[in-house]
Amino acid sequence: MKKNFIVKILLLLFLFNNFSFALNNDGIGLDDALSGLLLREKSIIQAEKSLDNATKKAVKDVNRPAYHFTPPANWMNDINGPIYYNGYYHIFYQHNPYNDFWQHMHWGHAKSPDLIHWQHLPIALWPSYDKGELHCFSGCTIFDAKGIPMIFYTKVTYPEPQDESPFLWPLIAHEQWAATPEDNDLILWQKHPANPIMTLETHGGPPFEPNWRDPFIFQEMGRTFMLLGANIDDRATVPIYEAKNNNLLKWEYKGILYEEPRANTFFFECPNFFKLGDKWYLIYSAHKPVEYYSGKFDIDNFKFIPDKKGLIDYSSNFYASNIMKDKDRLLLYGWIKDFKENMGWNGAMIIPRNITKNISGQLITYPVEAAKALRKTQLGAYKFKADNKNYILDKAIGKNLEIEITFKNIKSNHFGITVFRDKENQSGLTISIHNNIFIVGDIEVPLQHNAAFEEKTLNIYLDNSVTEVFLNKGEYAITKVYYPSENGSGLLIFSHKGSVDTDVSVWKLGL
């Protein structure tokens, strides 16, 4: 609380000592600059005050994740614009600072030196109600020609003054806006005076439906491109644009990168497009588990030609992924959703994952190496043959654990582990392989037929109401929101109808 108050005072001092930016932006006058900056500061302080009040309730919830990133309080959804800048990883995220449900979309902001320990920062973007802005929707961050980060996001306009009906805003054409930082710490952001950067009236393409959003920018062969999600007639599409200048303020429509019938894909939310080895990948969220295509990018004709399809995560609790290139690795971020309401908080982020691919081109996602810094105490290391019995790990108890299990010499058709086990009411979340099907609770994923009796490794991260499970170091990933009982903190290994050699290590995790 005291720290947040100090941050706000520093923000005010910074604001009144940095008018040069506003005064030198394309002839903006002093009155206009003062008005815009004061409205921004008022919006941010109001939002931060609301968060301070809600935090008192949020921190009391025993089901709130302990080491997965969440805002100080209230609602979050999509992770936006992840970048690495001046020694820190930055994430932004869709955020309602006023309630723990979806509304009043701002961009929350946090930074980390290692992708694990996050520091909350003041809200970066806020709806400019004076300009008819109802929401700041999802987007990305890109470096301009001078190496300065630049946010691109979708502005959602009021259907009419003071009308925030969720049934009306999709009927009003969205716009693509930009914002730039005023300091090297990326604390204060100013919406670009050239906004709107693109509108449906000026974008040079077909008459897409008003719900035209979620910009993603990538570079290839010295050229800069932007993708959006858009629908037209009976097609869900991913239009592609190319930057016409280095300041990224002028864009030219180049066509449809990829499209599908809307009967197959409702909408291409949060499109990500990247090259990995000799393959291009299009990741998208379409109101179901996050999918991807691999294929070729015909840069001359601005077309993506897919050859295979896959899933990033097999759970609907994982959604709205975003990627970031970090030197020699590719990072994946994602939103964890479907938590209980009215708890003072709602939404979390996955442990950031590395993205790689196997020999067949399948994407592999697995927590970054820095996640090992969460290990506080090893609670046990066990080796035994599981043979038609249950094996309780007495010393490995807790709701914030990392569990690694290797199954060898598999002669069973049903084996696995129950986590969050409550021996009193016989509850818990079961993670198993049954008849060559990978099962996490109510999620079932068929495995390759030739993998039935091969060695298998499970890596499991428990964090109160969040469970992330990885089979064979990320070959399959499942994120699960599960609420354990009050006494649900035990672990049980089992094997039915056969035996399996089991090697288990368990660590207590924390920040």
Pairing of β 443-446 and β 427-434: unpaired
Q: How far apart are CA 499 and CA 388, in angstroms?
A: 7
pLDDT at 438: 96
Q: How far apart are CA 181 and CA 268, in angstroms?
A: 29
pLDDT at 172: 81
CA distances from 233 to 193, 209, 278, 407 (A): 33, 8, 34, 51
Pairing of β 400-408 and β 456-463: antiparallel
DSSP 184: T
- The fold adopted by the segment(s) 2-68+75-367 is Tachylectin-2; Chain A (2.115.10)
pLDDT at 69: 98
Q: How far apart are CA 491 and CA 404, in angstroms?
A: 12
pLDDT at 187: 95
pLDDT at 39: 80
Pairing of β 175-181 and β 189-191: antiparallel
Q: With beta carbons less than 8 A apart as the criterion, state whether 74 and 96 touch.
A: yes
pLDDT at 132: 85
Backbone angles phi, psi at 371, to 5 degrees: -60, -20
The vertex-373 CA angle with 97 and 56, nearest 5°, equals 25
DSSP 248: S
pLDDT at 327: 87
pLDDT at 41: 84
CA 454 to chain centre: 32
**In b/e form, how buried is each residue of 398-427, taking b as 16+ CB within 10 angstroms?**
bbbbbbebbbeebebbbbbbbbbbbeeeee
Residue ranges matching CATH 2.60.120.560 in the chain:
372-509
Regions of the chain with pLDDT less than 70? 1-37, 159-170, 449-452
pLDDT at 72: 96
pLDDT at 37: 63
CATH class, domain 372-509, is mainly beta
Number of Cβ within 10 Å of residue 204's Cβ equals 11
Residue ranges matching CATH 2.115.10.20 in the chain:
2-68+75-367
Q: With beta carbons less than 8 A apart as the criterion, state whether 281 and 297 touch.
A: no
